Amino acid sequence: MMELRRRKRSNDHEDRKSRKDLESERSDSGSDPASPARPNEKHRTMIHPEMDDTVLSQSILETLVITPASVKVRAVGWVRRLQRDGAGAVAELVDLIPQAVRGLKAHAAPFVEARHIIQDEPDEARSQMETQLIQEDEEATVEELVPNVMGKDRPSKIFTKALEQFFIQVTTMCPVELFSQSDAFETILGWIQALSLSSLREMRFTATRAGYGLMTGIIQVHARLTQTAITLEKQLAIDTKRGRSSEKSVPGLREKLSVVSQGVTELVQLMELAFTGVFVLRYRDVVPEIREFSLISLGSWICSSPKTFLDDSYLKYLGWMLSDR
């Protein structure tokens, strides 16, 4: 797959303009010659490129623990890898769940690799993870358990929130074509479902938050693409009525509309997969934190996408959770 293109810097000779040229441009635009030219606000970057390189050289877990504010940069890096190495990227994302349960350790071997994704045996892999995590937990020191995915201290809460945000960001930043031309997210959700069935409460909690993060991101992308499809349909109808004057634009609009429509269809299927595969299995979990987060998540989905979730097929779960004793 093609890599995302980085913004190219202008050549030095284009940046160096004579004072006369600058004054001429200012006089033409009607601005004050004495006022300095301001950079375009839209092209400002909040993170320095050197920091981007530092973040991308870290593991995902290191970014979430050490620099949680850089979640967006790390998500962009993961999307780039997905376009180059699908199985490797999926393995890295799935591996983040047991790694988060394990905690940040030096030279820790991954639980999930590309070969596991290709073999596609998540239940067997989960069993091996549980055995290894139980063994490591017995040997761990107190310092190694911070931050903890279910911890109540501030670092743990920041880490858990960053984990959820990462799964949201990797979804919202993916090009629309990936949803219809790749099975990456179906595979990820399949593994998350398997990990959410773990006998370890920390694993279930982490997998559930990751699955709900993907669901939130899918809902956001679905809303955006649905609005884009409406806009394209209106533009296509206008250009079609114009006849010959818009013969060149109509095919392009139809192609864009086809891609967007395929993306919307695929996102609806992913929403259903995430809801039935993760939420329906976890909303009545014995762990209070999982039940609480399930209730909060469903409420946020209803508010963000009422046309979809203000329906009896979803609202019944809200009623069952509110009346749960």
Per-residue pLDDT of the chain (325 residues; tens, 9 = 90+): 333 333 333 444 444 444 444 344 443 434 343 333 333 333 333 444 444 666 667 889 999 999 889 999 999 999 999 999 999 999 999 999 999 999 887 668 899 999 999 999 999 999 999 999 998 887 766 555 558 899 888 999 999 999 999 999 999 999 988 888 889 999 999 999 999 999 999 999 999 999 999 999 999 999 999 999 999 999 888 888 877 556 677 888 888 999 999 999 999 999 999 999 999 999 999 999 999 999 999 999 999 999 999 999 999 999 899 886 5
Whole domain around residue 254: which residue ranges? 47-322
Give CA–CA dist 286/37, Å, rounded.
61
> Residue 192: inside a domain, yes or no?
yes
Alpha-carbon Rg for the chain, nearest whole angstrom, is: 24
Pair 82, 89: CB distance under 8 Å = yes
134 belongs to a structural domain: yes
Contact 259, 180 (CB under 8 A): yes
Residue 41 included in any domain:
no
Is 209 in contact with 164 (CB distance < 8 Å)?
yes
Determine the Cα–Cα distance for residues 303 and 268; give it in Å rounded to an integer.
17
Asked if residue 40 is part of any domain, the answer here is no
Rounded CA separation 187/181 (Å): 13
pLDDT of 324: 67
Residue 294 included in any domain:
yes
Domain count, the chain: 1
Q: What are phi and psi of 247, to 5 degrees?
A: -60, -30
Residue that the structure tokens 């107190």 belong to: 142
For 116, other C-beta atoms within 10 Å of its C-beta total 21
Alpha helix ranges (H) inside the chain: 12-15, 19-29, 49-57, 60-66, 71-84, 86-102, 114-119, 122-139, 154-172, 176-181, 184-195, 201-242, 249-274, 280-282, 288-304, 306-309, 312-322
The four Cα atoms 73, 78, 82, 86 give a dihedral, to 10 degrees, of: 180
Residue in the block written with tokens 């092209």: 43
**pLDDT at position 249, please?**
79
Could you check whether the bond before residue 98 is cis, i.e. omega within 30 degrees of 0?
no
Is 288 inside any structural domain? yes
Contact 2, 84 (CB under 8 A): no
Contacts 24+ apart (CB under 8 A), 110-117: 112/191, 114/85, 114/87, 114/88, 114/90, 116/91, 117/87, 117/90, 117/91, 117/187, 117/191
Q: What is the pLDDT of residue 278?
A: 97
In a domain, 10, yes or no: no
DSSP string, 204-224: HHHHHHHHHHHHHHHHHHHHH
Q: CA–CA separation, 83 vs 148, rounded Å?
A: 31
Domain-embedded: residue 25: no
Q: What is the pLDDT of residue 21?
A: 46
User: Distance between CA 255 and CA 95 in Å, rounded?
Assistant: 37
Cβ atoms of residues 155 and 146 within 8 Å: yes
Residues 159/161/166/168 CA torsion (nearest 10 deg): 170
